Amino acid sequence: MQILITLLFAVMMMAGLFLLLLGGVGFVQIYSFFSSAPKEVRDAVPVTKPERFKGQHFVGWIMIVLAFALMLGAVVIGAVLGVRDNLTFWQLFARFLTMILLVKAFDIGFFDWFLLCNSGFDFFARFYPECKPVLGRYLFGYNWKTHLTHIIGAFPVSALIAWICTLF
């Protein structure tokens, strides 16, 4: 049962991450949100874009707030249920590490490989047609150092959250 709960929280975090991307790229459309994008995409994206409809940016910010609430909620509820169920440090560590690594796999597999590199859905090109010519499979792995840093960082972050949970 604990495994299913952990997977549910990971899916909640994945949904939040997607909502964050959709709100930022699709609605708020601030150039600084592209700081982690490949240089080719950053160069193709205009610094400012007019709103497609009145209140577009407001809708985007609401999506971003909801995304953070969803992701933080998954961690907090996962911690509260872990404490309630008297999970050990190692069980809590495994829960949070699994959640973080599954979200990272989603980031690499869905965002980078599918949406960015294979234009499988023309996600970015729908909001920024200017970047369509520069999207392609050659971009995959452009941020491998960042991904590796996040994966390595998942271990101490998971341990810290698990340790904090054991204090209760």
Three-state DSSP at 46 gives coil
User: What pLDDT, on the 0 to 100 scale, is given for residue 70?
Assistant: 97
DSSP class of residue 136 equals S
In this prediction, residue 79 carries a pLDDT of 97
DSSP string, 1-28: -HHHHHHHHHHHHHHHHHHHHIIIIIII
Cα–Cα dist 117/90, whole Å: 37
At 90 the pLDDT is 97
Q: What's the confidence (pLDDT) of residue 121?
A: 62
Q: How far apart are CA 23 and CA 122, in angstroms?
A: 16
Q: Which residues of the chain have pLDDT under 70?
A: 119-121
